[in-house]
Amino acid sequence: MANKKHNKHKKKQAHNTEPISHNDPIVKTKEEKKYLERRRLYFLIGALLGLVIAVVGGHIVSKSDTEFNFPDIDSLSSLDLFDSWTPKLSKFLPKALLEDELFGFSNKKKSKVDLSEDFVVGKSMKKEDPSMGPKYPVIMVPGVITTALESWYLSANDAEDSLNDTIKCSPESYYRKRLWGSIFMLKSMIFDKKCWLKSLKLDEETGLDPQGAKLRAAGGFESTDFFVPGYWIWNKILNNLGVLGYDSNNMLTAAYDWRLAYLDIERRDKYFSRLKNQIELWHKTHNQEKVVLFGHSMGVQIVYYFLKWVESEGPLYGNGGDNWCNTYIDSIVDISGSVLGAPKAVPALISGEMKDTVQLNEAALYGLEAFLNKKERVDLLRHWFGIPSMLPKGGTLIWGNKTHAWDDPSCSANLEENYPYRNFGNCSYGDFIRFSDTNETYSVDAAFDFINYGAPDWFVDRTKDQYSYGIATSELELEENNKNHRFWTNPLEFQLPKAPDMKIYCFYGVGNPTERSYVYKHSNATTDPPFVVDYEFGGQGGSRSVFLADGDGTLPLITHSMCHKWAEGKSPYNPGDVKVKIVELKHEPKKFDMRGGAKSAEHVDILGSAELNEYLLKIASGKGDEIEERKITDLQYWVKEMNWPL
């Protein structure tokens, strides 16, 4: 059935430019596919290995562990290493090497402007249209794990802490250090693993700070500028906004502790209250101008959660009233939002695995298991109560059943590539989890049973208390759910605000193979959870134990279905007829560029996309109406034919 619909949609799509089919981005030569999939992974492993060598070397030559600090290196958190080191490298590297574009060091003038370079997009747009400048204040909400976390714990009674703690740590050595998102993080992971893990885990009962640890999201633009030196996150966008005239008076990074369940971010840090106050202040001090919110990945879920929180009544809610969003918010920008969830969150919470770990070579995998085995990884993730917010939502309606899924591949296209499916009798991604040792298959709904199997009660109870993954079946149910925070991370169970003047822009990458379903087996190993990904399935070093679909490398295409549903106009899901504009960005990475270059639409690297940056600058300067929609996949047609209850 899915294949017939797919063929029909192809005819409808003929007017679109550069149409993408499942046989376009996914089916490549084996060599090219392996290179594209593993290029970033090898780069990160190599970078990590280099840092480990540097850290270990520094540790050996240091006089004592207490003197083992990296004040100079830690200060490089906002440094783009290769660009900044080129003048220094010229003192001892051959000139020919520095001018070799393969290594990215060339300073020769190029015939074309490199749009991936800092400030270039902003300067080009400003030159083309000098009237462009700051109109709306901008708030940027980062995604999961990309916000740095700092330690603020100090003990007033070391003796009492020593009696109560089974793991002895020195809070002074961690004080105001970044235990996540820095070189210091790597040092702590290697030489102080137990204390590092203790600091990162939240309390099992309260979901807040555990005894003997207190981490907080780093403040300012540096909290999400770079993850570690040389690996930018929001830096490109910040630079281009700066060209237009934005500064700290009209631009803000709303960093948050992504480990916390969403309501606990408010309960502990008053995050949403401070966000509400900032927006109201800017509205007052910027000639009644509204605010634009840029969200990325999990940050998009935070933004939509905020829209419901701010208008709802209750002791921990915003109490802003039904017109607050329409009064204060001009636009929501959804950048690769995990709105309907990420499949990779499922194996992460079942067995501490995902495509990136499965495809490690044997030596790297052995090192990972020796340092942090599967059970330890699952335990850590279960102590981060924000992670379950990214589990798939909508069940078989969105993710398919055991017969078919909307984004199913064509089995006849390439028999060799589809070898793994033959063992299970079908080609459907709707078989979300397959067991190679029993030939049993399960849909996405059953995945929650595997996540909860053997999980402690505190994890299961807090997940049920904070999140919901189903589908509302009546408009009355949607209206009731608007009053309960448990439903605000699932757009299938809440309504957009009645804000007819507000706009939503959805930008996401396509054409990049993305994990979609998995092959598991039962495990009896003492260091393993009960179920683990079958690394040996189908050969190919485990690459065939994870099935890939179209997407951005992290989120499959189907998770963006809600943007298309909202775009249909006024409905029970969109009662205020909020206008939605969708642009699909084709992933076209540049060879020999570790971050993909100006045309990358990979999940994180899209933040450096020249096209995306151009759109963001237009929206911020009040010219969002100039953006033209572009839909180059079949998702728009799948959404129209889904059996929506409303």
Q: Considering Cα of 389, then 393, then 395, then 400, what sign does the dihedral take? A: negative
- The active-site residue, picked from 77, 151, 297, 351, is 297
Under a CB-based contact definition with an 8 Å cutoff, are residues 73 and 55 in contact?
Answer: no
Question: How far apart, in whole angstroms, are the C-alpha atoms of residue 77 and residue 613?
Answer: 22
Are 331 and 505 within 8 A, CB to CB?
Answer: yes
Active site residue 379: no
Helix axes 457-466, 262-269, angle to 10 degrees: 90
Q: Cβ(204)–Cβ(383) under 8 Å?
A: yes
| Backbone phi, psi, residue 155, to 5° | -100, 130
Q: Quick check: 378 and 532 in contact, CB under 8 A?
A: no
HEC states along 58-111? HHHHCCCHHHCCCHHHHCCCCCCHHHHHHHHHCCCCCHHHHCCHHHCCCCCCCC
Give the CA count within 13 Å in the CB-facing half-sphere of 567: 19
Annotated catalytic, 297?
Answer: yes
The answer to whether 77 touches 222, Cβ cutoff 8 Å, is: yes
Q: Is 625 a catalytic residue?
A: no
Considering the candidates 603, 605, 609, 634, report the single residue annotated as catalytic.
603
Short-list 344, 401, 272, 279, CA closest to 547: 344
Which strands make up the sheet holding 138-141, listed edge to edge? 251-253, 138-141, 291-296, 329-335, 503-510, 579-586
Q: What angle do CA 239, 285, 251 make, to 5 degrees?
A: 15
Strands 231-232 and 226-228: antiparallel
- Taking the alpha carbons of 525, 526, 530, 536 in that order, is the dihedral positive or negative? negative
- DSSP state letters, 177-213: -EEESSHHHHHHHHH-HHHHHHHHSPPTTTSSPPTT-
8 A C-beta contact, residue 119 and residue 240: yes
Residue 586, strand partner residues = 510
All residues at 6 or more sequence positions from 168 whose CB lies less than 8 Å from its CB, including other chains: 162
Q: What angle do CA 486, 488, 493 make, to 5 degrees?
A: 90
In the three-class reduction of DSSP (H, G, I as helix; E, B as strand; rest coil), residue 337 is classed as: coil
Residue 131: exposed, middle, or buried by beta-carbon count in 10 A (0-12, 13-18, 19+)? Answer: exposed
Which sign, positive or negative, has the C-alpha torsion 264, 267, 271, 276?
positive
- Give just the sign of the alpha carbon dihedral 75, 81, 87, 88: positive
Cα distances (angstroms) measured from residue 71 to each of 60, 187, 250, 346, 392: 17, 13, 31, 38, 41
218 backbone dihedrals φ, ψ, rounded to 5°: -65, 150
8 A C-beta contact, residue 495 and residue 478: yes
Q: Cβ-count burial of 72 within 10 angstroms (0-12 exposed, 13-18 middle, 19+ buried)? A: exposed
Instruction: Tell me how far apart the alpha carbons of residues 584 and 336 are, in angstroms, rounded to a whole number.
Output: 10
Selected catalytic residue, list 118, 407, 408, 552? 552
Instruction: Kindly list the catalytic residues.
Output: 297, 552, 603
